[in-house]
Structure 1
Amino acid sequence: MENFTFISIESGSEIPYGLLLLADETVEAIDRYIFKSDIYLLQNGVEDIAVMALYKNSNTELEIKNIAVVESYRSKGIGSILMNKAKEIAKEHDYKTLTVGTSDTGFQQIRFYEKNGFIKKGILRDFFIENYPDPIYENGLQMRDMVLLTHHLTE
């Protein structure tokens, strides 16, 4: 049986860039949100296997800025464990919606979020062109637009 534990990273603690870079392309991009985010690690024993950064957009909206799972634990339900934890945290703090943005070329990620109850709510045109110095490719395509998805929290 797996021994999973969630821990919250305290402010001023070392930031787990190695894990965060699995889901974001540069430290500079991470630094734009990480210092105002709550960071959670999922551990299996003493091994860090996943990370999640949550950012307060408003009193009613919490955003998943980063969610990443180490490769050896992918396709084993860890992402869904993280999503359920994000929903739990959001409900505990009376948020009404949970939002996330991902690349228009991230077909697997978009399916994952939709499977976890998120619906597409908009597109930020040219987000990856304007916010990253070099072109980024995923699934053989240049990342261009950010797809925004939202999950409405209910009792």
Structure 2
Amino acid sequence: MEKFTLKKIGQDSDIPYELLLLADETVEAIDRYIFDSDLYLLHHDAQDIAVMALHSNSSTELEIKNMAVAESYRSQGIGSILMDKAKEIAKEKRYTMLVVGTSDTGFQQIKFYEKNGFIKKGLRKNFFIENYAVPMYENGLQMRDMIILAHDLSE
């Protein structure tokens, strides 16, 4: 297998907005969570190819706020590598639940999370309407609700 390196980056590091924006719509949205999240970069051949931001919601729950893979590296299992790392980090820090939220129109993302052991847990009604200044679309549909998915780590 090719060599990938996951590195936690410090608060003094540059924020890799170009990667984060692949999974979130605006810099303003990213800035709402990025400064109190742990940020990890996945490197391959001295390139940053993927990013994830993990945020502690409570002593038992860790949330994936952002997970993105550079377009040229998609469909190669990189997302699943990141997901395994997120689960590993959560377990090491003794969290019992890993959660993620995604748009109700993000069919590919929902399928990805379910493939990685997540189940639908809840819904944040009108999240994308209330939290973004302009309507946003994915798969030709307006993004409205956030689907919350959870993975139980205590099993």
Indicate the residue corresponding to 1:65 in structure 2. 65
Spell out structure 1 runs of 4+ moving beyond 3 A.
none
* In 2: Cα distance, 1:20 partner to 1:81 partner: 17
Indicate the residue corresponding to 1:131 in structure 2. 131
3-state DSSP of counterpart to 2:154: coil
Indicate the residue corresponding to 1:51 in structure 2. 51
Contact between 1:104 and 1:146, CA under 8 Å: does it hold in 2? yes
* In 2: Cα distance, 1:109 partner to 1:115 partner: 10
Which structure 2 segments of 5+ residues have no match? none
What one-letter code is carried by the residue in structure 2 that aligns with 1:148?
I
* In 1: Cα distance, 2:72 partner to 2:11 partner: 28
How far does the alpha carbon of each residue in 1:62-104 deviate from its partner, in whole angstroms, 9 at most, with x for none? 0000000011111100000000000000000000000000000
Indicate the residue corresponding to 2:82 in structure 1. 82
Indicate the residue corresponding to 1:121 in structure 2. 121
* In 1: Cα distance, 2:12 partner to 2:58 partner: 23
1:154 Cα shift?
2.9
1:100 aligns with 2:100: yes
3-state DSSP of counterpart to 1:154: coil
* Matched positions, count: 155
* In 2: Cα distance, 1:135 partner to 1:70 partner: 25
What one-letter code is carried by the residue in structure 1 that aligns with 2:97?
T
* In 2: Cα distance, 1:17 partner to 1:6 partner: 17
1:2 Cα shift?
1.9
Contact between 1:5 and 1:45, CA under 8 Å: does it hold in 2? no
Q: How high is the TM-score relative to the length of structure 2?
A: 0.98
CA RMSD of aligned residues (A): 0.8
1:35 Cα shift?
0.0
- Identity, in percent, stands at 74
Contact between 1:38 and 1:54, CA under 8 Å: does it hold in 2? yes
* In 2: Cα distance, 1:25 partner to 1:92 partner: 30
1:11 Cα shift?
1.4
3-state DSSP of counterpart to 2:117: coil
Indicate the residue corresponding to 1:146 in structure 2. 146
Which structure 1 segments of 5+ residues have no match? none
What one-letter code is carried by the residue in structure 2 that aligns with 1:18?
E
* In 1: Cα distance, 2:68 partner to 2:100 partner: 13
